[in-house]
Every structure is written in C-alpha cells, then in structure tokens.
Amino acid sequence: MSQPTVVAGPPETDPPTKTPPSPPITADDQTPYVVEEPRKPKRSKLGYALVAPAAFMELFIHIIPMLLGVWIAFLGLTQLNITNWTTAPFVGLQNFINGLDPRGTIGQQFFETLGRTLLYTIIVVGLSWVLGMAAAVFLNSAFRGRAILRTFFLVPYALPGFVTTIAWAFMFNQRDGAVNQVLVDTLHLFGDDRPFWLLGSNSFIAMIIVNVWQLWPFAFLMLMAALQTIPSEVYEAASLDGASLWKQFRRITLPMIKPANAILLLVTSLWTFNQFNVPYVLFGQSSPKEATLLSPLIYQNSFVSWNFGLGGAMSVLLLIALLGASLVYIRLVLKNSGEDND
C-alpha cells in the first residue's frame, strides 16, 4: 500500500496538513475554523441536528444496553421470568457472590477462564505481531512479486472469519482432516494414534492457530503502513556507520514505529480478549473446558444454561476492565494521530 493518502485524525484537532494559506486559521482546538463571522448559536444548532440521529442510535444501542447490563447483574433473572424480566426480583450482590466467589465451582471456573483468556491473548497477539512484523519488514524491500504478495497476505483478513474457521475445523478433523493427514500419515509424528484437535487440551492450540491465521494480516497491514513512514536515509546512514540489519531493526525500526505499535498491540489484544467467533464456530455452543474463553463463557451462562444474572455479573466485570483499556486506547489514538498527521 502506498503512503496513507487519507488521514484519520482526531476530531478535536485541526487538520494540520494542507492548511490553506488563507483565510488564517486559529490553532485553537475548540474553535476549528472561523470563516466569516459565524453566529455561534446557529452553528451549534446545526451541529446538534447533524449529531442527533447518531446520538439517538448510540443511546439506544450502546448507552441504555450498558446501563441495563449493569442493572440486570443485580436481578434474579432466569428462564422463568425472562419474557417478563421487569418483574425479576432484585437480589443485590447475590449474582456476584454466587458467580465470582473463587472458592465456589462457578467462581473457580470464572477465574480459570479469565487467566486462560489472558494467556490466550498474550500468545495470539505475540505470534500475530511476530508474523506481521516479519512480513512487513521483508515486504518493505523491493523485489519482484512484492505487490502480489502484499495483496495475498491480506486475504485472510478479507475473508469472513466464520468461513475460514469452518475450513480449519475441517482440517483439524480427527479422522479425515488435513492436519492429521500431514502429521500422522506423512510425518508419522504420533505413531498410529490420530490426536483429537478439537477436544481436550489440544483444542486450545487449535484455537490459537486459527486465530493467529486470521489476525496476523492485520498486524502486517498496520506495521507495513508504519514502516513506510520511516525515511530510508535513516537506514542508509546507519548502514554506512556499519550497523547490522538486526541492530538497525532494534535501534531504528522499533523506536520509530512505537506509537503505531502501541495502538496495534492494544487493539489486537482487546479483539483477542473478546474473541467469540473462533471458539463458537470451531467448537459450537460449549467449548471444551480447556479452551473456554471469557466471551463464550458469558454466552454459555446466559443463553445455554439460562443463568442470566450470572452472565450479567461477569459482563459487569468485563465492562469495567474494558472501560479502563479503552481509556488507554483513546489517549493513544488521540495523541498518536495528532503526531502522525504531518
């Protein structure tokens, strides 16, 4: 891809690029453009009118659901009163006590799942980053076939995730899958036993492979764009000084793409931490216990075992954690795109 032609900047800041020579523009963040003498109330009114549909939808699809989500964590909501849920009894902290007490079986499962989800996130994001980085570094050099490879590497990102997950489910099939065909029949790695990949502890590995396959092209895409912002003279100067490629990578590449890296790692971590589709399509409604992640666990509690209050309590904890993470994200994005726009 070429240099980013369109720059997504933070709404708060002025577009610093291509600032027109006239009329003069104030650098003030709060008042972006003063053309003639605009009457302030009129301007505000138009702003409200334009935002109104979006604000209404945000209220209906995000804000009310989030408040409601917190509220139902305090209700005794079961399949008996779900259709008439406004009459569900208020149970206070009972859901939290039942569901999240580490000494109880449900609480134990919750904390195990939380730990597993964190481990899963670290592995998937780490592997995706390494693969994406390798591809970005090597595709940043000139050679024949580069353009084709660049598009080809984005294909997993463009395909619907459920399609490629189904394909992997087919490949991981114990009896007649392609994975066992290679590992057992061709390489004779497991003797005569064909391992199960979608049951037991192997399912965790299988889920990681599928997720990395889908995620790393995104890391590649972002890192590729970040690398293109580094001027090649920097590398030329460094290699004249005799710096090895590895040293150049560590001393120039990594520091210079730090802001893009921070956003990339945070975003991919959040996506992976929230992963639902891969386990759901790979395993069905209930994952093997060695491969249960947080989002599927909440789903399972709410829509498989009809324990809505418990699902709600877990959602509240997840919500709090994500609020913290997205605050970090917002700071990074606003700061970073402010710097990037030149």
Query: In the window 24-53, what residues touch other proteins (CB under 8 A)?
Result: 25, 30-33, 35-36, 43-44, 46-48, 50-51, 53
Binning the chain into helix, strand and coil, the percentages to the nearest 5 are 70, 0, 30
Given 158, 187, 192, 233, the residue binding other proteins (CB under 8 A): 158
Of 103 and 246, CB closest to other proteins: 246
Member of 26, 61, 119, 289 binding other proteins (CB under 8 A): 61
Query: Taking CB under 8 A as the criterion, which residues in 62-81 touch other proteins?
Result: 62-66, 68-69, 72
SS3 242: coil
Q: How far is CA 127 from CA 133, 303, 325, in A?
A: 10, 32, 21
Nearer to other proteins, 106 or 335 (CB): 335
Omega prior to 259 cis, within 30 of 0: no
Q: Which residue reads 């027109």 in tokens?
A: 20
Helices (H) and strands (E) counted in the chain, each on its own, are: 16, 0
181 binds other proteins (CB under 8 A): yes
Q: Helix, strand, or coil here: 90? A: strand
Does 236 bind other proteins (CB under 8 A)? Our answer is: yes
| Sequence-separated (6 or more) residues with CB below 8 Å from residue 51 | none
Contacts with 92 (C-beta within 8 Å, 6 or more apart), sequence order:
74
54: contact with other proteins by CB under 8 A: yes
> Is residue 175 within the footprint of other proteins (CB under 8 A)?
yes
Least distance in angstroms from the C-beta of 196 to other proteins: 15
Residues 275-314 that bind other proteins (CB under 8 A): 276-277, 280-281, 295, 298-299, 302-303, 308, 311-312
Looking at the Cβ atoms of 103 and 243, the one nearer to other proteins is 243
